[in-house]
Structure 1
Amino acid sequence: MSKNGGIEYQLHPMRDTLYNELHIRPFHAMASPQQITHLAACCGNPEALQKSCDLVSELCKRYEINPPPSDAVTFYQNFGNFTINWERHVEFYSLTIMQPAPSQGKPFEYTAVDLLPSDWLKQLPGEVLAAFHMIIDNQQLSYDEHALSHNFEGHPVMMSSAYGGKTQILTAFKLHGDGYGRFMICHNGMSTLQTGRLTRRLIDLETYRLLSLLSLPIAKRISPQLLIMDKQMADILNLVAEQKTASSERQLLEKITTIEAQLETYRAETTQRFSATQAYHQLVKDRLERINEEKIDGHLSIGEFINRRLNPALRTCESVQQWMEDLSKRIERASDLMRTRVNLNLQEQNQSQLSAMNRRSRLQFRLQETVEGLSIAAISYYSVGLLSYLFKGLPLEQWGLNNNVLLACSIPVVLTTIWYVTRRIKRRLIQDQEIKA
């Protein structure tokens, strides 16, 4: 609860978090000359991300510095001769080590990561994806062709200008002999805040560029399988019109179900990765726009190189994702078609069975009527026989009656009576059956 002007109100539990969200990853002022090493490691589970935070806390204890809280998202701290910036993201964490560049020595001869304890570095969890060094120079280094060839080990160098010509950005987007990438920023007149913003955007640009490409090997791996599945679906659809028996259609339906299960496995494997790729690609485009680079004559700019290489890779991933969606819809339509045909065949079989049952019922009814007539005759025969015994025991001659005549006259009466009683019993049974139904 809070009071304002005498009015009490209930605060939203996420209010503080939402206010602090915009300040989680701020830009830090950065002096020059400066050496930077940036690491970004992918983690498959939250436990690995938490372990990275625990390792940062352990490093703080070694240097007698207050550690970050266990639920920290970012941690920026000066350790004396170097500064670290640790950040926790959704599927990776990043570690940036910064130190003032030495006045002597060649660029990249000594790096900021060398200042961290080697035993501590070996404990870092996850798989390192982005690892590169960055030099921030205030025009103290040489940038002629020979120096650039030495600093980037002979790789072609991309070069751009930014901040109205106040700075130049150089990189080869290549892994060098030490296993790290390399960036150089040469500025003339940038403020420390501008330098910090530019450095942060370049770090994000390279990190998100690599993360956005994680789905490309997956797309290349499943593309041949999708081509096989596509051909199988075309063959199955060609056979649909030729199949006439229910058993063959059920076999085709089983094949379609197998293809559908395999496709859903691929979709489950790639949906999250492809969605993340689109998000990272958008972040790369955003960082490129915010750098606001300008082309330098005779050199390929960073934006041109990234768009030339990254966009086709992203379109490949998008096409594979769209291919899976289209194939899934085609499989669904084919499955509906096959199920409809199977159901029609089953209905035809059921109708034939019902017709056969009707014929058997009519035959059974006729047999029943025949048996019923024989039963009436048999019962009448035995009834007349009983009456004959009865008439023989009576003094019919004294009454002026003839036994044979009386027995002959009783036969129609017995037949009529038994027929009537049988019909009544049959009608009663039919009525009871209709009431129960």
Structure 2
Amino acid sequence: MSAETSSLDFHPLRADLYQELHSRPFQVIPSTARVTHIAVLVTPEQRRTQFAHLQRLHRLLGEPWPEQEVSCYEHNFGKLRVRREVHMEFASYTFINLGISSAEPFAETGISSLPEGWLEQLEGTIVGAFHIEVRPSEEDARSELAYMRKYFEGMRLIGSSPQEGAARVLGSFQLHSDHFGRFMVLNHKMSNSQLGRLVQRLMEIETYRLMSLLALPLAREMTPSLNDMDHELATITQSLADNESLDEQQILAELTHIAARIEAYRAHSTFRFAATRAYHELVLTRLEELREDEVSGHLTISEFMTRRLTPAVKTCEAVGERLEDLSRRVDRASDMMRTRVELAIQSQNQQLLSSMDRRSRIQLMMQHTVEGFSVVAISYYLISLLKLGLDVLQDSGLAFNKSLVLGVAIPVIMVLVFLGIRTIHHRFIRMARRQ
């Protein structure tokens, strides 16, 4: 590092960011090669086991093995080239047999040179597995088609002439008797580098096509349940619109059950549907890069994908959108139901307050009545006490008219008691208002 740049603060991932663009280089494939590509769904544990299995292949073939796993690994075992790529949810293996052979197409494949039993012990679930026969073109166009058709077991073929006729590609996009798919590439005027890029695009198109279709069985499985939930939700919404007398508790329980089922489906399908969209975009990008010309009498790969793959992807997208729409509709129905319950509670509260107000007025009238009785009772006891006091005074020799004194004291005592009770009553009212 020069003195001028030694003091610069470089991002710690800068080198990795540069290397990422070169982590999966295109292969260089000669015009005579037999390629086998396998895509395997893996768990993190299976991925680690697969790397150990790859090391075992090196030991079986007498080659030094890699110590550390990388996203793209490639090694030549003489005439056999092995490439392993690690993706988010799957790993892909490409086996290229570069040896010269006089055997018929697909009689020898990319996996023919592997040690016996090694491939059968590969961990994971295989999604894509197909052979690609790469050969130079030595005949005219019509003879080529007749030559290529012989090796696809009578299946209907899809094909084109990519890169403005620089090569010819045919495939069936079906499984053959060996449980592998088949493609044949006849090279007209491509260099080894161009041929490697063409083969790489074919492998990616077929692999991503299969990965994108993994969501289709899930979408079909979910559709009947979505139909049932849609019908249940429509019934509930209609009953709310008709303002029928409903059991709010039962309706809320049904809405909660539907919402729980929807969330379970979303948790199970969101990643799969998102992956389908991503894989489909990759397929369309690789198809554009092929720059196909039509082969007389055959659908091009782009036409086939547009006609068959795109509707399947649209089906998955429609189910995903329907799931989201159902979720929003359940939320709106729940909001309406909660509003209905809140209005009912407010009505009950209003009735309760009216009842409490009536009770309060009755209690107030009863209180006034009790206050009147209280004035009489307290006045009676006070007058009785006054009479006892006057008797004591008379007995002590004090001369006065006891009856007159009692007669004058009775109204005075009653007025004073009444005023005292009213004063206490008003004091409590002021205290309650301050609180």
TM-score by length of 2: 0.94
1:61 CA displacement:
3.1
Give the corresponding residue for 1:332: 331
Give the corresponding residue for 1:298: 297
The 10-residue stretch of structure 1 (401-410 or 83-92) with the greater mean CA deviation from structure 2? 401-410
Write the distance in 2 (CA, Å) between the matches of 1:360 and 1:283.
Answer: 76
Give the corresponding residue for 1:279: 278
Secondary structure, counterpart of 1:95 in structure 2 = strand
Given the superposition, is the C-alpha separation of residues 248 and 129 from structure 1 closer, same or farther in structure 2, using an over 3 Å criterion?
A: same
Given the superposition, is the C-alpha separation of residues 139 and 244 from structure 1 closer, same or farther in structure 2, using an over 3 Å criterion?
A: closer
8 Å CA contact retained: 1:243, 1:249: no
1:5 CA displacement:
1.6
Give the corresponding residue for 1:315: 314
Match of 2:227, as an amino acid? L
Give the corresponding residue for 1:225: 225
8 Å CA contact retained: 1:54, 1:70: no
8 Å CA contact retained: 2:30, 2:195: yes
The 10-residue stretch of structure 1 (24-33 or 143-152) with the greater mean CA deviation from structure 2? 143-152
1:395 CA displacement:
2.2
Spell out the pairing of 1:277-426 with structure 2 (5 A cutoff).
Answer: 277-395=276-394, 399-426=398-425
Q: 1:91 aligns with which of 89, 92, 99?
A: 89
Between the aligned residues of both structures, percent identity stands at: 40
Write the distance in 2 (CA, Å) between the matches of 1:173 and 1:184.
Answer: 12
8 Å CA contact retained: 1:157, 1:172: yes
Secondary structure, counterpart of 2:368 in structure 1 = helix
What 5-or-longer segments of structure 2 have no aligned partner? none
Given the superposition, is the C-alpha separation of residues 376 and 244 from structure 1 closer, same or farther in structure 2, using an over 3 Å criterion?
A: farther
The 10-residue stretch of structure 1 (231-240 or 87-96) with the greater mean CA deviation from structure 2? 231-240
Give the corresponding residue for 1:114: 112
Give the corresponding residue for 2:50: 52
Give the corresponding residue for 2:212: 212
| 1:81 equivalenced with 2:62 (yes/no) | no
Match of 2:71, as an amino acid? V
Secondary structure, counterpart of 2:7 in structure 1 = strand
Give the corresponding residue for 1:183: 183
Write the distance in 2 (CA, Å) between the matches of 1:286 and 1:48.
Answer: 30
Match of 1:88, as an amino acid? V
Give the corresponding residue for 2:160: 160
The 10-residue stretch of structure 1 (114-123 or 212-221) with the greater mean CA deviation from structure 2? 114-123
Write the distance in 2 (CA, Å) between the matches of 1:206 and 1:370.
Answer: 96
8 Å CA contact retained: 2:148, 2:170: no
The 10-residue stretch of structure 1 (65-74 or 200-209) with the greater mean CA deviation from structure 2? 65-74
CA deviation map 1:408-435 (0-9, x unaligned): 2111122122222222322333333334
Spell out the pairing of 1:192-207 with structure 2 (5 A cutoff).
Answer: 192-207=192-207
Give the corresponding residue for 1:70: 68
What 5-or-longer segments of structure 1 have no aligned partner? none
1:83 CA displacement:
0.8
Write the distance in 2 (CA, Å) between the matches of 1:35 and 1:134.
Answer: 6
Give the corresponding residue for 2:171: 171
Secondary structure, counterpart of 1:164 in structure 2 = helix
1:4 CA displacement:
4.3
Write the distance in 2 (CA, Å) between the matches of 1:197 and 1:6.
Answer: 38
1:189 CA displacement:
2.2
The 10-residue stretch of structure 1 (408-417 or 111-120) with the greater mean CA deviation from structure 2? 111-120
Secondary structure, counterpart of 1:207 in structure 2 = helix
Match of 2:123, as an amino acid? P
The 10-residue stretch of structure 1 (3-12 or 14-23) with the greater mean CA deviation from structure 2? 3-12
The 10-residue stretch of structure 1 (87-96 or 377-386) with the greater mean CA deviation from structure 2? 377-386
Write the distance in 2 (CA, Å) between the matches of 1:207 and 1:145.
Answer: 25
Secondary structure, counterpart of 1:186 in structure 2 = strand
Match of 1:311, as an amino acid? T
Write the distance in 2 (CA, Å) between the matches of 1:323 and 1:395.
Answer: 104
Q: How many residues align?
A: 433
